[in-house]
Amino acid sequence: MSKIYLDHAATTAVHPEVLEAMLPYYTQEFYNPSTGYHAGRDIKDKIEEIREYIASCIHAFPDEIYYTSGGTEGDNWILDTSCRNGRDLISDVGNYRPVHIITSCIEHHAILNTCKELENRGEEVSYLPVDSHGRIRITDLQNEIRRETGLVSIQYANNEIGTIQPVNQIGDLCRKYEIPFHTDAVQACGHIPINVQEMNIHSLSASAHKFRGPKGVGFLYVRRSVPLHSYIHGGSQERGFRAGTENVPGIIGMGKALELAYQDMEIRSRNEQRLRDYFIRRILREIPDSRINGHMLYRLSNNINLAFRYVNGSSLLILLDDDEIYVSAGSACNSDHSGPSHVIRALHLPETYENGVLRITIGEENTVEELDQVIRLLKYHVEELRAAAPELHS
């Protein structure tokens, strides 16, 4: 049987047209954009064209786009900046108080672990709970806002369960209280239309390898009104805020990947949703004691997060891996940890389900025939695992 890849939330294959666009910048057009001669200036012009295009995709200005190594760097950068801005503001009025950040309990670890580090430095963080579908409640957010709140950081769409947060309402509330709003849009960018002006988003992080671009490159959007602090010190790249020679092939690839993603976003989304719903219907109908995690309406079009009662998810992953079917139990960044992820725990699943979680994320190259094959093997392996451990459901 040929390999079936269904873990596109972890990473995607570089699109052939993206690779083709990148290759000349490893060979013929390898010049450093910071050099003074003509060939280098041409490269500089090219990456500025890409910056303009990225800005147009999210309705931003080009000088609000900063190239990064990916979503993790962008999240770290803006959280650090927000605390420094908050300390500057508080020191102006005297009586130092810790800077306060509001986030959710199901964020990616790029946000959560950075927040923990900031707490170790003396800042304060509120972690909003979510409902049984993984969405925050706007009333909970409003109740946490205080004078020292320097940032609200809520993920646009969750990387494990695919739930899309009420971004417009969050933006409206932040506008009312004049608080900067950051969103980790790593799973959303290239998959969902984004308008940072209408949504009142002050900063946004994205990563190219989630939309068929190369790994190791991304971007951070920061609104002009938000003071930005230097994050990597050295040369004058990225207007002096992020030093280091630009990853030119990566930037070229990211631009091309985003162009392709936006060209067929609507058609691709409809096709993914059709496959997603087909798979979910069959699983819930044909495998007893199975359930879907996350919101069914406010959900990424390619995300399927399932839980099987009386099944060990790790064992199920191993069996599927032996069949050369590649899925996950949750975030790739959390694969070394055993037991339910922090996202699944936050949903408060029944104990008999929480260890049997499987995340399947569809890509544009997947077919109904592949999904039928996965369903057949899933049915077999779930039955096999339950039969091998009857004490779990005796």
pLDDT tens across 230-248, in order? Answer: 988 999 898 999 989 999 9
Q: How far is CA 182 from CA 142, 145, 287, 327, 342, in A?
A: 16, 15, 40, 30, 21
For the annotated catalytic residues, the residue numbers are 333
One of 3.90.1150.10, 3.30.565.10, 2.40.30.170, 3.30.300.210 is the CATH number of 4-12+265-388, namely 3.90.1150.10
**Token pair listed for 321:** 């891996």
Span(s) in the chain for CATH 3.40.640.10: 17-263
User: How much is the average pLDDT of 161-185?
Assistant: 98
Q: Could you write out the DSSP letters of every residue in 107-144?
A: --HHHHHHHHHHHHTT-EEEEE---TTS---HHHHHHH
135: nearest Cα among 333, 347, 308 = 347
- Distance between CA atoms of 184 and 54, rounded to whole angstroms? 16
Q: How far is CA 375 from CA 19, 205, 278, 283, 369, in A?
A: 33, 35, 11, 7, 10
Domain 17-263 carries which CATH code? 3.40.640.10
280: nearest Cα among 289, 290, 270 = 290
66: nearest Cα among 233, 251, 292 = 251
List of residues 6+ apart from 134 with CB closer than 8 A? 106, 158, 161, 163, 293, 294, 295, 343, 346, 347
Which letter does DSSP use for residue 15 in this model?
A: P
User: How much is the average pLDDT of 109-131?
Assistant: 97
| Number of CB atoms found within 10 A of residue 5's CB | 19
Amino acid at 97: R
Q: 66-94: per-residue pLDDT in tens?
A: 999 999 999 999 999 988 887 765 555 55
Q: 261-288: per-residue pLDDT in tens?
A: 999 999 999 999 999 999 999 999 999 9
Span(s) in the chain for CATH 3.90.1150.10: 4-12+265-388
pLDDT for residue 78: 97
On whether the CB atoms of residues 296 and 304 are closer than 8 A, the answer is no
